[in-house]
Amino acid sequence: MRNLLFLCTGNSARSILAEAILNRLGEGRWRGFSAGSRPLGRVNPRAVALLEARGHPTAGLASKGWELFAADDAPRMDAIITVCDSAAGEACPVWPGHPLTAHWGMPDPAAVAGDERAAGAAFEAAYDLLHRRITALLAIPLEGLSPAEAKAAIGRIGEETPPGLAPAPAMPLPRPGGRR
């Protein structure tokens, strides 16, 4: 079983969606977690409604800080993927071990202004993009790759740009064993 932590700023939408998607698609091979640099303390209700509509369990999903996953008693992460760019430049915790890191930047569906239909479409688009990216992740034969090859393969997944959007800049991640 591999553990993957999805990071974002508020940990209320994108990272929550990714956690739920990975936990379903990973089925015993990967376990997903999520956290934020400045967690909002609540999961976005649209994210919960979408996950439930798509058949995902939502019990236990919570907005939490990333420091929980840097603690000595935290699950050891095999990979850490950031899904937003607004956390760029923030000091990250020191991650135990040497997890693979990647950036899969994407627009925040919770930031979409407009009517209910526009907001719903933004959440659907975020879910679909994360689903495609996580499906691609699960198809990588990591056992046969060096750490550098695995990091490059996982990173390439985040290069998929949603239609009509510029790619988000990468969030600097900590070097293994220290702060960036």
Please give the positions annotated as active site.
8, 84, 92
The Cα–Cα gap between 152 and 100 comes to 9
Give the number of other CB atoms < 10 A from CB of residue 101: 24
Residue with tokens 């679909």: 128
Alpha-carbon distances, residue 67 vs 1, 37, 39, 131 (angstroms): 22, 8, 11, 26
First to last CA, the chain: 28
Mark 73-86 as b/e (b = at least 16 C-beta within 10 Å): ebeebbbbbbbbbb
As a whole number of Å, the CA-based R_g of the chain is 15
